[in-house]
Amino acid sequence: MAKLLEVRNLSVAVRRGRKRLYAVRDISYGISGGEIVGIAGESGCGKTLGALAIPRLLPRGVEIAGGEIVFQGRNLGVLSERELCRIRGQSLSMIFQEPMTSLNPLMKTGRQISEVMELHRGNVPYHRGDFSALCRKETLDIMRKTGLPDAERIYRAYPHELSGGMRQRVMIALSIICRPALLIADEPTTALDVTIQAQIISLMKNINRELGTSILFISHDLALISQLCSRILIMYAGKIVEEGRVGEVFSRPAHEYTRGLLFSIPSREHKGAALANIPGRVPSIEEFVPGCPFAPRCALSHESCYRVFPERKQLNENHWVCCNLPNVSPLRREERREGHAGFKAAGSDHSG
């Protein structure tokens, strides 16, 4: 079956004078209809720029430097701005960490949602007055679906009158009012407290189940990804370094980076224990690394890892890794508890 979204060899670059610095380097993946896919990775790995490239919403000075994005069988790279606008409003939406940046502070929240609907479904054959009433009713329905209490009151409220969790729900209502085929959610719960986070995750599940919307969910939080997603992409330094079904990647990670991220999840039985962070840091986009970008932080790296860029290897039907020496072994409980003894201490150099 054709994929809903196919990202093929996508590269995204930041312009610095005459130079192009690559924030996303030659990534490929697909999302099927109704699927929820997670993207994880430390800060600066290119998750956001990779996602913003899909609806062509990259900030100034950042551009697509290669590859293709095919959505519902159409190559988005060749569409006019007008056609793209239609797709963004109707079949592909995005939500961000801070909803205030996307909501209009001067307009009542309900009106903002129904306006989107009027704009994008304006071709429905209704008498104008009836159509507005219909939009208002559907807006209230969608607001209730997102769990907003007292939808009538919130319809009339301005964004600043709402709590962070309510604003995020309004943002989600806004993004699903046209029943998009794909919702890209970039850290939608990071600014919210844990209880609200859990509610937003269950709302995402409902949207997926009831509307059949596919979701690309970007998060630092692997625990949230495991609750929501069926497949995960792990990004490091602009590359997808591991990809697979969540159950398999979490229990048998093949990339040392993935293992490191997994050790950083606080376990239930050791609440309050210090997180085992991965020593070292993500290379900046200015630093060119000829071999594996993770080699300086990887306990298993060999001298060749600093020279040879790792090929993508298929481990089984649903599991891929980009590593010269993949180490597929089950994640042991005690490893997680003790932190990852396998990582080099921060700042330690490679000796080959």
Ligand X SMILES: Nc1ncnc2c1ncn2[C@@H]1O[C@H](COP(=O)(O)OP(=O)(O)OP(=O)(O)O)[C@@H](O)[C@H]1O
User: Contacting ligand X (CB under 6 A), which of 87, 117, 184, 285?
Assistant: 285
Between residues 44 and 159, which has the closer beta carbon with respect to ligand X? 44
Contact between 46 and ligand X (CB under 6 A)?
Answer: yes
Which candidate, 221, 151, 144, places its Cα nearest to that of 176?
Answer: 144
Contact between 62 and ligand X (CB under 6 A)?
Answer: yes
Of 57-65, 78-86, 122-130, 239-247, the window that binds ligand X (rule: CB under 6 A) is: 57-65
Give the shortest CB-67-to-Mg ion separation in angstroms.
19
Give the shortest CB-232-to-ligand X separation in angstroms.
15
Task: Report the partner that residue 38 touches, choosing among Mg ion, ligand X, none (CB closer than 5 to 8 A by kind).
Answer: none
Task: Report the partner that residue 20 touches, choosing among Mg ion, ligand X, none (CB closer than 5 to 8 A by kind).
Answer: none
DSSP string, 32-84: -TT-EEEEE--TTSSHHHHHHTTTT-PPTTEEEEEEEEEETTEEGGGS-HHHH
Give the shortest CB-223-to-ligand X separation in angstroms.
16
Which residues does 163 contact at the CB level (< 8 Å), separation at least 6?
none
Cβ atoms within 10 Å of 284's Cβ, excluding its own: 10
Between residues 220 and 252, which has the closer beta carbon with respect to ligand X? 220
**Distance between CA atoms of residues 52 and 64, nearest Å:** 10
SS3 assignment, position 337: helix
Of 47-55, 125-133, 162-170, 224-232, the window that binds ligand X (rule: CB under 6 A) is: 47-55
User: Contacting ligand X (CB under 6 A), which of 13, 27, 40, 49?
Assistant: 49
Task: Report the partner that residue 45 touches, choosing among Mg ion, ligand X, none (CB closer than 5 to 8 A by kind).
Answer: ligand X
Give the shortest CB-47-to-Mg ion separation in angstroms.
5
CA–centroid distance for 313 within its chain: 23
Give the shortest CB-98-to-ligand X separation in angstroms.
12
Cβ atoms within 10 Å of 252's Cβ, excluding its own: 17
Task: Give Cα separations from 262 to 5, 31, 339 (angstroms).
Answer: 27, 23, 10
Could you identify the residue written with the tokens 């969540």? 246
Could you identify the residue written with the tokens 């509610």? 199
Contact between 101 and ligand X (CB under 6 A)?
Answer: no
**Distance between CA atoms of residues 206 and 212, nearest Å:** 9
Contact between 43 and ligand X (CB under 6 A)?
Answer: yes
Of 46-54, 260-268, 320-328, 330-338, the window that binds ligand X (rule: CB under 6 A) is: 46-54
Give the shortest CB-237-to-ligand X separation in angstroms.
9
Give residues 11-40 in contact with ligand X (rule: CB under 6 A): 14, 23
DSSP state of 270: G
CA–centroid distance for 168 within its chain: 16
Contact between 48 and Mg ion (CB under 5 A)?
Answer: yes
**Terminus-to-terminus CA distance in the chain, angstroms?**
46
Between residues 75 and 284, which has the closer beta carbon with respect to ligand X? 284
Give the shortest CB-30-to-ligand X separation in angstroms.
20
Give the shortest CB-293-to-Mg ion separation in angstroms.
18
Between residues 41 and 147, which has the closer beta carbon with respect to Mg ion? 41
Which candidate, 268, 291, 292, 263, places its Cα nearest to that of 279?
Answer: 263
Q: Are strands 231-236 and 214-218 parallel, antiparallel or unpaired?
A: unpaired
Of 16-24, 39-47, 279-287, 331-339, the window that binds Mg ion (rule: CB under 5 A) is: 39-47
**Distance between CA atoms of residues 169 and 172, nearest Å:** 5
Task: Report the partner that residue 283 touches, choosing among ligand X, Mg ion, none (CB closer than 5 to 8 A by kind).
Answer: none
Pair 299, 344: CB distance under 8 Å: yes
Give the nearest residue (CB) to Mg ion: 48
Applying CB under 5 A, the residues found at the interface with Mg ion are 47-48
Give the binding site for ligand X (CB under 6 A): 14, 23, 41, 43-49, 59, 61-62, 220, 284-285
